[in-house]
Structure 1
Amino acid sequence: MNIKGADIVQSAEQKVRSYIKESRIRGTRLLQKLVQEPSTRGNESGAQAVIIEKCRELGLEMDIWEIGDSGLTVHPAFCSDRKDFTGNPNAVGIMRGTGGGRSMILNGHIDVVPAGDPKDWDKDAYSGHIECGKLFGRGSTDMKGGTTSLLMAMEAIKNSGIKLKGDVIFQSVIEEESGGAGTLATVLRGYKADAAIILNLLI
Structure 2
Amino acid sequence: MKELTELLSEVERRENELYQLLSDLISYPTVSPPARNTTEAQDYVSDYLRKIGFSIEQWELYPGDSIVAGTKLGRDEDNAGSLILNGHLDVAAIEENEQWDFDPFTCAVTEEKIYGRGTADMKGGMAGILFALKLLYEWGIEPLGTVYVQSAAGEEVGEAGTKSCCENGYHADLALVADTSNCMIQGQGGVITGWIILQSPETFHDASRRSMIHAGGGVHGASTIEKMMKIISGLQELEKHWAITKSSPGFPPGSNTINPAVIEGGRHPAFIADRCGLWVTVHYYPEENYNDIVHEIEEHLSHVVQADPWLREHPPAFQWGGNSMIEEKGEIFPSFSVDRHHTGVEMLAHAHELVNQTPVQFSMSPTVTDGGWLAEAGIPTILYGPGTLEQAHAVNESIDRIQLLQFTKTMVAFLYRWFLNSEKKG
SS of aligned partner of 2:120 = coil
| Cα RMSD for the two superposed structures | 1.6
Q: Which 5+ residue runs of structure 1 have no aligned equivalent?
A: 1-9, 68-84
CA distance in 1, matches of 2:97, 2:114: 18
Partner of 2:226: none
Are the counterparts in 2 of residues 12 and 162 from structure 1 also a CA contact under 8 Å? Answer: no
Structure 1 residues 163-201: Cα deviation after superposition (integer angstroms, max 9, x where no partner): 321111011000111115100000001001000111111
SS of aligned partner of 2:150 = strand
Offset at 1:151? 0.6
Partner of 1:87: 64
Of 64, 69, 84, which aligns to 1:105? 84
Are the counterparts in 2 of residues 118 and 125 from structure 1 also a CA contact under 8 Å? Answer: no
SS of aligned partner of 1:120 = coil
Partner of 1:198: 177
Q: Which 5+ residue runs of structure 2 have no aligned equivalent?
A: 181-385, 388-426
Structure 1 residues 116-142: Cα deviation after superposition (integer angstroms, max 9, x where no partner): 235421122212122225221110111
Distance 1:44 1:164, change over 3 A: same
Of 169, 177, 182, which aligns to 2:148? 169
Partner of 1:44: 38
Structure 1 residues 51-95: Cα deviation after superposition (integer angstroms, max 9, x where no partner): 11211221211111113xxxxxxxxxxxxxxxxx01321001112
Partner of 1:72: none
Of 8, 13, 34, which aligns to 2:4? 13
Partner of 1:74: none
Distance 1:62 1:29, change over 3 A: same
| Structure with max Cα Rg | 2
TM-score, normalisation: structure 2: 0.40
CA distance in 2, matches of 1:102, 1:148: 24
Structure 1 residues 92-131: Cα deviation after superposition (integer angstroms, max 9, x where no partner): 1112210121011000100001122354211222121222
1:25-40 matches, cutoff 5 A: 25-40=16-31
CA distance in 1, matches of 2:165, 2:141: 27
Partner of 2:60: 66
Which stretch has the larger CA shift, 30-39 or 112-121? 112-121
CA distance in 2, matches of 1:196, 1:95: 15
Structure 1 residues 142-161: Cα deviation after superposition (integer angstroms, max 9, x where no partner): 10000011111111221112
Quick one: higher RCO (CA 8 Å, sep 6+), 1 or 2?
1
Are the counterparts in 2 of residues 97 and 168 from structure 1 also a CA contact under 8 Å? Answer: yes
**Paired residue type of 1:158:** Y
CA distance in 2, matches of 1:33, 1:117: 24
CA distance in 1, matches of 2:103, 2:162: 29
Of 138, 148, 154, which aligns to 2:127? 148
Partner of 1:96: 73
Partner of 2:101: 122
Which stretch has the larger CA shift, 192-201 or 92-101? 92-101
SS of aligned partner of 1:143 = helix
Name whichever structure is richer in strand by fraction. 2
Percent pairwise identity: 31
**Paired residue type of 2:146:** D
**Paired residue type of 1:147:** M
